[in-house]
Structure 1
């Protein structure tokens, strides 16, 4: 029952945001940065969520430094950089920018890696967007605030990798746990680049097996595993690579939890 409720609340959180972060903006001629972006992030933060949605839609990978409440692994670094304890914080080594406000981060992402004509919503549209993101956080906070507060953990020596897309109900619990354990990871965004990819993997394999894959990360994961499914975790510290959110979370708790 608990697993069923967790999945249902994750679906409801995605629904609250209109499933933003599911589809890639192929028509916007997105560009990958030469050097990887860095995001100081809290999974449950409504303002961080809207930034991650755009990263997912632009198919831009990012190094995530989780900064949960009570965490001491990366929050002090973020404070040293920006002077305030505020998230999200984006570092772009390609331009030298350090940006705090979510709207300004989104404008920066569109300008440099997407369609420069796009901008983050302002005024009433922004209020509605943040309100729905807050609703998503509230849904995931029923019973327990997931992806918000730090838990005791052991830091990995090397950064992990996670194939995910923002609205995936199965990927979200993994990102929440990575945040709580303060485990840094490269977020390999896996947004769906064609309408034939919408829905669960069974839909594609059954009805559209010959549809071409255009997303770089989808091609990479297909080459690695023969599958297009998320979440998929790679841990270079142990050589473990695995699908299935339940198995991934059990592994993370065993390997890095206290």
Structure 2
């Protein structure tokens, strides 16, 4: 199933105020619909004004199991889909966990937590031999239940995706999706690895599990109307968030977000990315994903969401501060 364009329906953030400089001016841009390689860039009519890191910017220290006081209501609302969708999108396919003596997991290896001399060991059965060479491209927006279904299977299959946000009245990717696909309908998927493109969320799900999974659609994504209904009901508390365009500068290069669909903190960040129409490569890292260890090796810590902005060189944890950074850097007054 799919939805027409007009439909609406992180790990833990620690409070740390940040100050940012004034915003930069906007550039007129034209967008390439397809990525040429894994380091996709946004094509412009003229050389874009380089973005720079905000003056005196200091990335906040990641703090687990804390929620910024001013964001508690938002996090609670963003967590509602976990209930309606039975945590679909939280775990990679074939997820399992066990408690093992802490000595069995080296200090430089990621483990969610340690208690009484034991560490939590998480594994999955994702088919790592069938990974796409280039990120799959999906035109969608956050508050669409059909789009959510596709994002859930992306998390389950541990796939990396280049998301082109298509908020209502967005001047860039929504018109481009209509131009290349011929319909004002979302989600719309393009797989540059196979030359396949398609509408209809259920068709996209079947394609992805057939091409990059074991061919079996997870039960919670195979219930037809009930799947779509629960996806929509889960968005009630955040109705309209991540669906309407906020004027913003388009970055020369897509941002990179380490995230997964089941996290309410990641959802809050994605709402802003969509509203600002910021293209971003999402590095899926649901529970059981081996990419958690990759981020751990990269930063010495694992927590989602984690934002990397190649346009400014900024890398940062903490959903609340990521949202502030995105609005300050890209939103237009």
TM range (shorter): 0.7 to 0.9
Report the Cα offset of residue 14 of structure 1: 2.3
Report the Cα offset of residue 17 of structure 1: 1.3
Normalization by structure 1: what TM-score? Answer: 0.86
Counterpart residue number, 2:246:
151
- How far apart, in 1, do the equivalents of 2:242 and 2:234 lie? 12
* Alignment match of 2:87 (pick from 19, 30, 37): 19
Per-residue Cα deviation, 1:140-176 (whole angstroms, up to 9, x for no partner): 12xxx21111101011111100000101011111000
For structure 2, the 5+ residue unaligned runs are: 1-68, 94-123
* Alignment match of 2:228 (pick from 117, 126, 130): 130
* Alignment match of 1:247 (pick from 285, 310, 321): 321
For structure 1, the 5+ residue unaligned runs are: 194-214
Counterpart residue number, 1:199:
none
- Range moving further from structure 2, 111-120 or 240-249: 111-120
| Regions of 4+ moved over 2 Å | 26-31, 117-123
> Is 1:166 aligned to 2:261, yes or no?
yes
Report the Cα offset of residue 82 of structure 1: 1.2
Is 2:316–2:322's contact at 8 Å kept on the other side of the alignment? yes
- How far apart, in 2, do the equivalents of 1:122 and 1:229 lie? 26
Normalization by structure 2: what TM-score? Answer: 0.67
Counterpart residue number, 1:8:
76
Counterpart residue number, 1:110:
209
Counterpart residue number, 2:97:
none
* Alignment match of 1:180 (pick from 268, 275, 290): 275
Per-residue Cα deviation, 1:65-101 (whole angstroms, up to 9, x for no partner): 0000111110111001111111100101111111100
Q: CA RMSD in A?
A: 1.6
| Change over 3 Å in CA distance of 1:39–1:122 after alignment to 2 | closer
Between 1 and 2, higher relative CO (CA 8 Å, sep ≥ 6) is seen in 2
Compare CA radii of gyration and give the structure with the larger one. 2
* Alignment match of 1:57 (pick from 142, 156, 181): 156
* Alignment match of 1:90 (pick from 186, 189, 194): 189
In the alignment of these two chains, the number of paired residues is 233
Report the Cα offset of residue 120 of structure 1: 8.0
| Change over 3 Å in CA distance of 1:122–1:151 after alignment to 2 | closer
Is 2:158–2:286's contact at 8 Å kept on the other side of the alignment? yes
> Is 1:231 aligned to 2:305, yes or no?
yes
- How far apart, in 2, do the equivalents of 1:127 and 1:62 lie? 25
- How far apart, in 1, do the equivalents of 2:89 and 2:250 lie? 29
